[in-house]
Amino acid sequence: MGIRFRNQLPTGETKPWTGRPFNRATHPMLVHFPIAFYFGALGLDVLSRLGHFASAPLAASWLILGAFAGTALAATTGLVDWSFMRPKSKIRRTANWHLAIQLTAGALFVLNFAIRWGNRHVARSRPLWIVLDLIGVLVVSIGADFGGQMVYLMGYRVGGGSQA
């Protein structure tokens, strides 16, 4: 049984929300923002070390915070999709890996954010921040690949319905 949210149609009919409020899967529409923000934070941190961009560490810190907001939305809609997958199915096992890897990436960025927040106004990013950014971006990329496999290799949410 999936997570049940209610969706009222223009006709007044109420139906359960299945992660498709716009007649499209919502999760894939939202995941690009936090991923781009995490990559952007890495880029800004590196830029602060290579050039003279004193605001880069602060901007990177705010990008990570923005990524957290995007991650919360993406994770919520992803969990709705996950709740409709058949237990023990191949798609559910892949989704479990996707979830575990993305939770690991999220934990790395939470740690990064906690370490950097007190010094976010420095002119040059600390090397530890860049290392954590890089590891986090690599982990989130691996997790995103698992998400892509569900769509592009397994056909989940492609076409008219769910193949969970």
Encoded amino acid at 93, one letter: R
Domains of the chain, first to last: 26-153 (1.20.120)
How far is it, in rounded angstroms, from Cα 77 to Cα 24? Answer: 12
Q: Which of 41, 109, 43, 42 is nearest to 75 (CA)?
A: 109
Question: Is 3 a residue whose pLDDT tops 70?
Answer: no
Cα distances from 25 to residues 19, 29, 30, 129, 163, in angstroms, run: 6, 7, 10, 34, 13
The predicted pLDDT at position 162 comes to 47
Q: What is the per-residue pLDDT across 60-99, written as a single tens digit (0 to 9) for each?
A: 999 999 999 999 999 998 998 888 889 999 999 999 999 9
The predicted pLDDT at position 6 comes to 63
How far is it, in rounded angstroms, from Cα 44 to Cα 130? Answer: 9
Q: Where are the alpha helices (DSSP H) in the chain?
A: 27-30, 32-50, 56-83, 90-116, 127-148
The structure's pTM equals 0.83
